[in-house]
Amino acid sequence: MSNEPTDNTEETPAEPTSDESQVPTPEPTASDATHHDEQEASGPTPTEQVHRDFHEPMVASGALIVDDVPLASQGNPVRSLWSTRISLLLVAALVGGLAGHFSSSSSGNDGITINSVNATPAGAVLPSGLSIPKLVNKVQPSVVSIDVKGSGEEDQGTGMIITSNGLVVTNNHVIAAAVNGGTITVTETGTTKSLKATLVGTNPIDDVALIRINKVKNLPTVTFGNSNALVAGDAVVAIGNALGLAAGTPTVTSGIVSALGRTVTAGTSTSSETLDNMIQTDAAINPGNSGGPLLDSRGDVIGMNTAVAGTLSDGTSAQNIGFAIPVATIESLLKTLKAGESIVNHGAIIGVEISSMSPELQAEYGFSVSYGAVVMSVISGTGAAKAGVKQGDIIVGINNTAVNSAQDVSSIVSALRPGDQISLKIIRGTKHLTLKVTLGTEPKTS
């Protein structure tokens, strides 16, 4: 790619001296969370299921973070900034069959004078000038509820229609039960009819999948926005099949972008996944929202709702912290998914937490380039730590491939295996370095 820097000034990094300054930083906190698909199974009642899933024990990665001086290698620590590696619990919320019936009664008001009006309530207005009800009416027809059956399980989630002939993007964990022969059905907003769908392509590494609704045409579609232009504080709206209460009638919540560039790790005793460069939001995201859109104030999709923080290690519940995959990441995967390819995760890692370069990061720390993947932290004992990678390094190339974003790093490494050695091209301050890094495996959760 044209943005890859030349290697004319490459040099081998010097071994750190004994008097190199070390700045202690506080231990990062870890929380667990759930992906937001719904799952039905025999066993506890719906009420018991909800209680259990929102009070699962914490699963922490156990990986120590080293080199915690914020972006120290760039020599411009303007103010404290650190990336939190959040350990998530990969658990489907078992609330199948849950239905709500609400009723109330009132006595007569003879002899009582009540002030009343017949005016229509006004919807909240977003910074774009569009009210939330109008935004919802614009986007909801392009949102579908998804039901998946397979391997004795039933999962429920959300999807977004991206083509008029029925291609729908959603989370991989929503459709995972159908990978080995299960069934997928979708319900369009405003309808009750279930339509059959076919799995097209899967990407467990980035938790994105593509399905196609069979025998349809002229469907309304979502519009992708610019997730790279987001800043903390931007208004957002989330739409999805929350709690699986009623297919075809999505739940709507609103909030703001509360942070960008988060790295979160989800895992069970048998599998785990690390998602980089996630959008953090305080818009309420619940089980069933997985695969649904996170919208900007114009109604354009800027993310796909995927997970929410749950319970902290001390038993305290996290509040209003959800995560969405940036739409820029999703767009980069669509060509491969449409081709029907399924990505296999060999479990290789460099050993760094990364975030795509952004104008905000560049301005804050005076980075010399506007592209690449910024190393937010380095995991001790990994290939990156042993090779001398430092927090604040900017990854601009791996082997002979240029790196423009965190997604590029994930895509390249996903095709490699633990034990493979890579040439990691980085920019550190004004220096261009090439480090030899041996790939390792994701630390097991415990």
- CA-nearest of 328, 281, 272 to 305 is 281
Assess contact for 323 and 345: CB atoms under 8 A.
Answer: no
**Helices vs. strands in the chain: H and E counts, helices first:** 7, 25
Residue environment code for 211-225, b if the CB has 16+ CB neighbours within 10 A, otherwise e: bbbeeeeebebbebb
Catalytic annotation, pick one of 35, 173, 254, 272: 173
The total number of residues written for the chain in this structure: 446
88: enclosing H helix or E strand: strand 85-89
Query: Is 173 an annotated catalytic residue?
Result: yes
Q: Annotated catalytic residue: which of 73, 290, 355, 356? A: 290
Instruction: Compute the half-sphere exposure of residue 24: CA atoms within 13 Å on the CB side of its CA.
Output: 2
Query: Which CA distances in Å does 387 have to 62, 188, 422?
Result: 21, 51, 11
Contact call for residues 201 and 338 (beta carbons, < 8 A): yes
Q: Which of 37, 147, 155, 207 is catalytic?
A: 207
Amino acid, single-letter form, for residue 234: D
Sign of CA dihedral 111, 114, 116, 122: negative
CA-closest candidate to residue 416, choices 330, 347, 325, 341: 347
C-alpha span between 154 and 184 (Å, rounded): 10
Enumerate residues 6+ apart whose C-beta is below 8 A from 41: 94, 96, 152, 153, 154
Q: What is the DSSP letter of 331?
A: H
Helices (H), ranges, 206-263: none
Phi, psi of 74, deg, nearest 5: -85, -10
Read off the tokens for 110. 């003879």
* Active-site amino acid positions: 173, 207, 290
